[in-house]
Structures are given as C-alpha cells and as structure tokens.
Structure 1
Amino acid sequence: MKSNFKVTLLIAFVSAFFVGFNASAQDIIPIKSGDTWSYQNESTGEILMAGLEKAEPFRSGVGFARKNGKWGALDKSMREVIAFEHDQIQLILPNVVRSLKQNRFTLYSLAGKELLSNLTSAENAEIIENAIIVSDDNRMYGMISSDEKVIIPLKYSRAPEVVNETDLLFYKLKGKKYYQGVLNQRGEEIVPFDYVFVQYLQNRHYVAIDHKKRYHFYNFSGEKIYEAETNSVQFIDSAYIIERREGSVLLNLLATGKKVTHEQIAQSNRMLFGLDSNKTTVYYPNGKSFSQKGMWRVREIRDDWFLMQEATGNRTNHAIWNEKGKVKIEGVYPRIHAWSKKWLVVSTVEHPRKQVLIDLNKKKEVGVYDRVDLLTCDNLRITQDGKIQLVDDRLQELNESDLDKKAVYLNLSEKDLQGVRREYFNLTQQRFDEAFEGEDDCGGRDLKEVKISNLRLVKDRYGKEPLPNRLIVDYWDQDKRRFALLNFEGKVIIDDGRGFGGYHFNGLVEYVVYEKLDVGSIGRHGFMDADGTIVFPAEYDKIQELHGDTAIVVLHGLYSMIQIRTKEVIMSGYEGIGSFNNGYYSISQNGKRGIADAKGKVLVQPIYDQVHFGTEGDGLFEAERDRKKYYVDQNGNEIPRE
C-alpha cells in the first residue's frame, strides 16, 4: 500500500513538474473580450486566466493585472507572485517591481520577494544604471540595485545628489548639523561624512571643507591626498597639486611626495615649469625634473624638445632644450622661428627682420633670407625678394623631372604641423613622431610645392580618437583646390580628386567623389581603409551611420541599410532610419514610425505616430496611433494599454 502511494506521489510530482515547465515556456498574451481581459496561450488558444479588469503584457517573466480595482503580478504559471492589493504597479528595473499602496511604495523581486516597504519615494538614480534611490517616513535615504541588494541602507538625511556615473553625494545628520560625504554605487565610502561641504572636481577629485574651513582633497579611490589650511589650491590632478602661499607657489609632486616652492608655475602638455628669478625647473608627471639657470618660460613643446624664452632687461632671448634639460641651442637669439635636427631658422640682433638659416651639424650660418620654411626630409622653401625656391638638404635646387618615379610628399612646414601635433598629443597622450616610423633616407622622395589651406587629423565622429599617422589636407595647386590623405611626414597616400568627410569609423575613412552637373556638382560618399583601398563604393548622397558591419546610407532622399563587406541591401526605401539605440533602429515612412533590429529586420511596422523602446531585453515597445496607446511585441502584435 505504501509502495503504491509512493509511486502515485512520484507520478503526480513529475506530472506537476512538466505541466509547470510547459506553462512557463508558453507564449502568453493578454486579450480583451467585452469589458474583461484574459491571459491566453497564443499557441493553443487556451484561456489561462479570465475575468481580469486589465492585463498587461508579460515583461521580464511577470504580467501585471488588475482585478477588483487592485493591481498584482502573475508568473507564467498564473501563480500570484504579488498580491492583488496595490493601487499601482510598475517594472522600475529589469529585476525590480515597484508598487504603490496607500501612498507608500514597496519594492519586490520578480519572484514576489519583498525587498523594501513603507517607502515614501523610489526613483531611478538618473545616470547611475540599474539603481533606485529610496526614502522612508523618517526622510532617510538609501539605494537598492537591480540584483535586489540594498547597496546603501536608509540612514542618510536629505535626497542624495548624483555627481557622476559612479558616485553620489549623501547627507548625514550628526547632532544638529548636516555633514556631507560621498559613496560610490557599491556603497563604498569615497569621502567620509566629516565635512560641511563637498564638491566634485572635473578631474575625478573631490575637495571637502571641514567646520574649521580647512580644505581636504580626495581622489576617486577614496584616498586622501592633500590638506590645505585655506582655499589656496589652484590646480589638482593625479600628478600635481599647485597651491599659492604668501606670494609663492607650492608644488606637491604626488608621484614622489616631494614639495617644492617657486615664484611662479606654468603648465604645458601635462608638464610643469617652476619659474624663479635665477632658475627654471621642468617637472614631468612621474616626478622627475631638471633645471637650468635663468627665468625661462616655455613657448612650445615638440617631440620632447622645449622652445624656451627668457626676458633680460630690454631683450628677449630664445633657446631650445632637450627632454633631459641639456641646452641644444643657446639662448642668444631674439627669436627662433623653426628647427629640426639639421636646420635652425632664427632672427638675430644683426638681422631682426630677416630669417637666418643655420646648419646645426656644421654650426654655421648658411644665409640670410626673407623667409625660410622647413619641409620634410630636411628640404627647404626659401623666399627671397619675392621669389620662392625649393632646395634639398644640400641646398641643391629640387629637380621635378623625376616626380613620376618618386614618392610624393607635400611641403608641410612646421607651422602647418604645429596645431595637429598639439591636438594629437592632447587626444592620445602620445607624441606625434611615435605614431609612425620615420625614414632616415630621403632619397627617392619628391616634394610638391602647394599652398596649404587646412590640415587636420582624421578623428572619429565624436572627435576623440584620431587615426595614427594619417592627416587630411585641403590645399591649392595651380589655382585648383584639392584634397589628399597623407601620413604624418606629408607622404601622399591618396590624391586622386577624391574629397574626404574628415572622420573615420573603426579605421574606415569617409571619402567623396564629385560628379559634375550642368550646374554645379554633386558628391557621392563611400569608405576606404587607411591605405586608400576602397571598402565601400562612393554611391550615396550621405552615409548616416556605421554600426558593426552595416551602414545606414541615403540616396535620393531615401534611407537604406547596407552590409558593408558584401554590399547587400538589407532594407531600403525609408524616409528615415535613426541612430542605433538600445539594440534597435527607429524607422519612418509616410510620416509614421516603426522599429528595426540591428540586422535590419523590421519588428514594428512604420504605422505609428510614436514608438518608444521598452526595457532592454523585454521585447516590448510602447507605441501610439490616433491617440490610442499600445504595447507592440517583436512580431508586431498590438496590445492596448492605458
């Protein structure tokens, strides 16, 4: 008898398990019949639960429904995971449900576990992802995450302020005074609650002021790095602190812990210059330094060489130092115009309005001219009495008869390169000459004399990541405007009449081919790699966006999605295709909107006045048409919503 009972019980358990398994795998949809709603198995048509006043689509495995005027939540087996006793209910994070009952909020997990209750507020934490700021009747604040953990307990006074993507400024009541402190999104203390005021600095540091008006500085890891008696700190970053004290400047080198005082301090390219009446000291971010006699000021830094200036009486002298502080060119010149390893162009006391060319290898003057420009490969452009002459490193006139046999270089002067050198360093923290391997032998090169209008880096569409060793130049050649793609030495990569859009996408450079019309011309856009090989032909009026291996292009006013490598047209003929967002593209046609996925599959037909992306991964979109609101699933099925 007991044996049969056990077998029966086992069969019942297994049957229940598989019934539950099948139910959980069903595609359940809400349907409306008359004034009531039901949940239905879409595949079999079976009604799973009926008699509901409202039924929302399932999101993250739960469906919100209303009966007897109250809201609750069901799982896919129609089990009540959150009781029908709430005035409102909402999926506030992918794994957290927020309900409202008698003007108090409760947070639940998807399984119905109560996480926090009796809350007066529960709102998303702005730019901090997957977190909710909560408060209780005592006006104490904390934070809970999407993994159902209370990261920051409810013990902080006043609503917190989100200061950046990871940190929040909280208030704590001590006695009758409020103190400020900073916690990160993991609940770790960055700035302790000992201060009457805390401010976030843009270089990822905090300054905190105590009740005695002393200033304390913390880095983003929570390490206290400095303390000052007054508001005397002028600058702080991960390498330096500069503080002004009683007419002098105190420099704190964080890498070494060393403190030094100077009359003045100047900054340039993440380097500091301590300026005193009889000495100049140069500091690197790692704390290393070197000094030279005299009060020199930096004019320019190029490839670890420093152009320095010193004012002595009524005269200003210029010198050049190397990265170790060794004087490469003595400070005897009123002005230094340009320099290279071979040439120096200066103005002298004897020739203040002329430019004197000096051979550094031979340490002697070569000549005095109206103007001298240093070009690639130690070639020169010399202007004298209105005439321009191109000469090589031996001062021999360049022969243009071998142009077809030699690599072509445009005459990029140091003045032309100055701006892109500085910008490249600021964007990459890498020296210009580290981005390519220079060639010592300049034989077989030809220099092309042109007038440069504009020289720029090839940056991404956000202006942040430049391509290494590539420049775009806009120049004039015999009264004809041209564009070219160059390397950093000025070597021509592409100069065949194409134009350039000025940006790259993952290393692909946009280019333009112009077609002449009866009146004017029209440009067609495509993409090539950094060596000029065409990857995507110039056939389109505009390239809107690239994502992965697909491109959004415009031709004759209509938008299409193209597979870059195969040139396959994935979808076409739309009035608009928006930017890739949250895994989808918005599309428009005849003034209506819809949704397509990353592969170009149209999930929501463009028949709605508005379409909004739902919670990431839940497969539902919120749409509106003729003032009626719907949920739309990825198969295009509509579900009315309030």
Structure 2
Amino acid sequence: MKKVIVLLLLVMQFSYAQELALVRKDGVFSYISKDGAFAIQPKFKTAKNFSEGLAAAENNKKWGFINKKGEWAIPADYDNVKYFSSGVCVVLKDKKWFYINKKGEALVAPASDKVYDFENGVAFIKQGKKVGLINNKMEIVLPAKYDVIKSFENGYARVRNNDRWGIIDNAGKVVVEIIYDEVGNYYKNTTWVKNGSVFGLVTNNKFTVIDGVDKIWDFLVQDVTYARKNDKIGFIDLKGNWIIEPKFDKAKAFSKNLAPVLIGKKWGYINMKGSLVIESVYNDAEVFGADGLAPVKEDNWGFINEKGKLVIPTQYGISAGGIFSLFKDDEKGFINGLARVKNEDKWGFLKLDGSVLGGQWFENAEPFNN
C-alpha cells in the first residue's frame, strides 16, 4: 500500500513539474510540452500561461482555470484573473478584485486600497499613502509604513521612506538601512548604493566608497558587476575592488566567466582578466545562459558557444518573455535547453542543436512555465 501511495505522489509531482508553453495557431490557443507535442489540444479563444499548475482560460467571456489535462479546475465565473503565486490568485468579479485559493474559494484579506499580486510569498497592501505586506494566510507581516516597496527579487525588495532607500526581506526585516539616495538589488548580503554624491557597496550594513564611480549595475549570476568611472566601464568584485579597470564603452554582466563588451561600434566578449577572447564583430550581444550559449546579433540573432563559434545562424528574433508572460524580465536566449525565437512573423522554440521543437511555428509562443 505504501508503494502505491509513493507512486501516486511521484506521478502528481511529475504532473506539476511538467512545463507547458502557451501557443496560438490558426487563432486558437493551446499548450505544448517540451517534446513539441500538444499537451492540451487547441480549443481556447483566449488563455494565459501556467503558474503553479493552473492556467487561466476564457469561456463565454468569463475566466476560470484549467489543469494540465485541460480540465476545468476552477469554473469560468470571473470577469478577469491574474496568475497564481503562493497558492493565491487575484480575480475580478462584479467589479471587485479579491483573492482566491486553488479551490476557487474567496479569501478575506486585510484592508487595502488596492489588491496586489503575490510574489516571493507576500503581497503589498496599501493604506492611504503607505504600503505594507501580507502573507498567503492573509496575515499582515509588515504594517503599511513605507512610501514605496519595489518588486521582490529572491526574497528582497528595495523600500523608500522620506526619499531615503534601503532593503527589506519578505518578513519585513530591514537588511540594508533606509538611509541612501539609491540602492541596487541584494546579492550575497551586498548591494550597491548612492550616498550623497558618491557610489559604493554596502555589505552587512558597512558602506565602502568606490572613488570616482558614478554608476554601478546590479550583481546577477557571478560575484562581479560592472561600474562606470570617467565615462568608461570596468568590473568590480563584492568588496568593491576593480578586477578589470574601466576601459570599455559599454558592458553587460559576467556569466560563464565571459562578459559582453562594446569596443568601438561592435560587441565581443572578455574573460575575467579583461582580455578579449571572442572578437568584437557583433551589432549586439547578450550574456551566456546556463546551457552555455549566448545570443549575438548581426542583422538578426543567432547563438555562439563559449569558444565563440556560431552554432546557430543569425536569422532569428529574440525577446524576453512575451505578451502573456508571467515575468517581466525573463532571460533571453536558451532556458533549460530551449530558446523562444521569432522567424519572420512566426514564433517557436529552438533546441540546442538548432532544430525547431516539433518542427512547428506559431502565431505566438510564450515561455515554458509550470
């Protein structure tokens, strides 16, 4: 009996983990799996991406949610809906926005002048001119006391009070004092800040000035970021030390120990020593993805490997996310072995070998989501 229960749990977990992509063909929406086959046959006039195992779909001008079998999990009774996050979704019915759970049950939230989406386990509440946080149990975790709370990234958000900026976590705890003119994202207990007329890094609430710098970009996937001094860009580490002196016109983040840089009018890639290891011959270039390929542009976009070899011809369009995308800043290029690209006026997915997933192009194709 225990083996049967374990097997059922594994099946349920696989079903939830299976990523599907929303596509439109012949004016009808459907969902494909990562083998390129239709997981849910074309039948929806309008639909949205999956999030937490459910996708919003329209039926007779009303919205509900389907599961990954294409069955209605929550009836189409709503005038509008958002996306599930932390088991909660914002919906509109009878001109009123409110929260529901995955059973379609309405949740009673603390008083707020506006109903906000959940992210990183919390949602904003607004009371008058101040903003706070609630959790998915509809409990206040942070009273409405800030002028601004920005979107959470990896459990942290920038906050502002009285024109001063700092950073909090999703429990409302201040991790960077709210005393700065500007702050960056929070990465390994570190953020960049502007304090008066100077820029520097704050680590464990200790501020270190970086002389002469007038801009610092966010840390992303490696323990270095880029900064500007005397109109040139170089790279600094988490302690604020220059590991590559400012000498480039433009630059982007390091990934796979390679970073795109602009030299003259063309983009190439440098290594961690600042040496140009992939020639600057491209009109644009993006950072390397986890799969080891980077988008590069001539007239259109293609992909190079870490040795600089063009492995997919520059004949496609690329963009982050999509018109129905759940996230605003989805990574460009390959994600988990597939890249969303445009070919003339059609969208589809490239595999790492350059072949087209399922051999199909669509009127629209959104990123794969759970």
The alignment's TM-score, normalised by the length of structure 1, stands at: 0.31
Higher strand share: 1
TM-score by length of 2: 0.48
Higher relative contact order (Cα pairs below 8 Å, separated by 6+ residues): 2
